[in-house]
Amino acid sequence: MDLPNLARVRVARHRSDLVLSSGEAPLAGGTWLYSEPQAHLTGLVDLMELGWPAWTTRNDGGLSIAATCTVAELVRIPAAGRPAAALFRAGAESLLQSFKVWNTATIGGNLVTALAAGALIGVTAALDAELVIWTPDDGERRSAVERFVLGQRATTLAAGEVLRSIELPAGAMAARTAFRRIALSPLGRAGTVVAGRRDADGTTVLSITGGTARPEVLRFPEPPGPDHVVAAVDGIRTWFTDAHGAADWRAAMTRVLAEDVRAELAA
Ligand SMILES: Cc1cc2nc3c(=O)[nH]c(=O)nc-3n(C[C@H](O)[C@H](O)[C@H](O)COP(=O)(O)OP(=O)(O)OC[C@H]3O[C@@H](n4cnc5c(N)ncnc54)[C@H](O)[C@@H]3O)c2cc1C
């Protein structure tokens, strides 16, 4: 832990405890917060005693997942009646992590950290998740995942806002899904990740993360052919180069993986 200016850790038990003062940040699993120097932080507000159920079934049959739901809890959500839950395990296993991260990292922390390798970002984007964000004036606002993540380590989360839940519609949870990932080495960070779903009416959605600065979501009102998918991937302009892959390699691999996902969903 490298938090040299930390003076206080508060445990939040009620929403009223979530009024953040200057220098305070929410603490979820702490796996990212404790992994890098955070000299700007003077206080942490622990969210894990708020008692939010990890997930609940919504009235429409969809899922409401608490921001504090851990990766371990997420992959245990039963897939019976909601086959798209298979994407949770695929996304979770795509994260480069130890068992300690698996058991403590939260879906909310993953979304807010907004790393390009945040596979739970791609998975929730492919499922048309809506984020419920508590605002400091006791209100809330809602946002699609692809509009929430603006770039590497950048989101629309304003000072004092707390991510409360991730809302997944019943239709998306009933969809068939497919997932592909590639990295330069067997245990390497993702070069590119493609998560896809196909609804009963043929609507097909593909999310691309890992190699793009922000999540890219490709939507097709009816099952796309190979050319449609290639053309949509070729329209992406946010590829980046880093130690985990060159931009042109990432674009080329995404063409291949997106076609794989399309073909699996069409089968
Ligand atoms: C070994 C290792 C490997 C990792 N591999 C990956 C990887 O492959 N991909 C990846 O994406 N990440 C990776 N991470 C980073 C991190 O562990 C994950 O992103 C994790 O999901 C963060 O969740 P957390 O609950 O631990 O968040 P925390 O560390 O508690 O918080 C992360 C950030 O989110 C904020 N925050 C947390 N919850 C909320 C909330 N509800 N509302 C508002 N703000 C909130 C915190 O203030 C902080 O700024 C890795 C970390 C380690 C140590």
Tens digit of each residue's pLDDT (9 = 90 or more) over 228-251? 999 999 999 999 999 999 999 999
Note the pLDDT of residue 96.
73
168 Cα distance to chain centroid: 12
Note the pLDDT of residue 186.
84
Is residue 26 lining ligand 1, measured as CB closer than 6 Å? yes
Looking at ligand 1, which residue's alpha carbon is closest to its atom 1? 97
CATH classification of 55-171 is 3.30.465.10, yes or no? yes
**Token pair of 30, please?**
């702490």
Note the pLDDT of residue 27.
98
List, by residue range, all CATH 3.30.465.10 domains of the chain.
55-171
Fold of 173-266: Enolase-like; domain 1 (3.30.390)
Note the pLDDT of residue 140.
98
Q: Which residues of 204-228 are buried (b: 16+ CB within 10 A; e: fewer)?
A: bbbbbbbbbbbbbbbebeeebeeee
Note the pLDDT of residue 119.
81
The CA 33 to ligand 1 mean position distance, Å, reads 7
- What distances in angstroms separate CA 144 from CA 133, 167, 193, 243, one per listed residue? 11, 10, 19, 29
Looking at ligand 1, which residue's alpha carbon is closest to its atom 48? 33
Is residue 163 lining ligand 1, measured as CB closer than 6 Å? yes
C-alpha dihedral, 152 to 146 to 93 to 48, nearest 10°? 80
The CA 61 to ligand 1 mean position distance, Å, reads 28
Phi-psi region of 265 (alpha: psi -120 to 50; beta: other; left: phi over 0): alpha
List, by residue range, all CATH 3.30.390.50 domains of the chain.
173-266
Note the pLDDT of residue 151.
96
pLDDT by residue (tens digit) across 130-157? Answer: 999 999 999 999 999 999 999 999 999 9
Q: Where are the beta strands (DSSP E) in the chain?
A: 8-11, 24-27, 43-46, 55-57, 63-66, 130-134, 140-144, 149-151, 154-155, 162-168, 176-183, 190-198, 204-209, 216-220
- What distances in angstroms separate CA 198 from CA 36, 171, 248, 267, one per listed residue? 39, 10, 28, 11
Cα distance between residue 66 and residue 52, in whole Å? 6
Tens-of-pLDDT digits for all 267 residues of the chain? 688 899 999 999 999 999 999 999 999 999 999 999 999 999 999 999 999 999 999 999 999 999 999 999 999 999 999 999 999 999 999 887 788 889 999 999 999 999 988 889 999 999 999 999 999 999 999 999 999 999 999 999 999 999 999 999 999 999 999 999 999 998 888 999 999 999 999 999 999 999 999 999 999 999 999 999 999 999 999 999 999 999 999 999 999 999 999 999 999
Is residue 210 lining ligand 1, measured as CB closer than 6 Å? no
Looking at ligand 1, which residue's alpha carbon is closest to its atom 2? 97
**Token pair of 131, please?**
């984020």
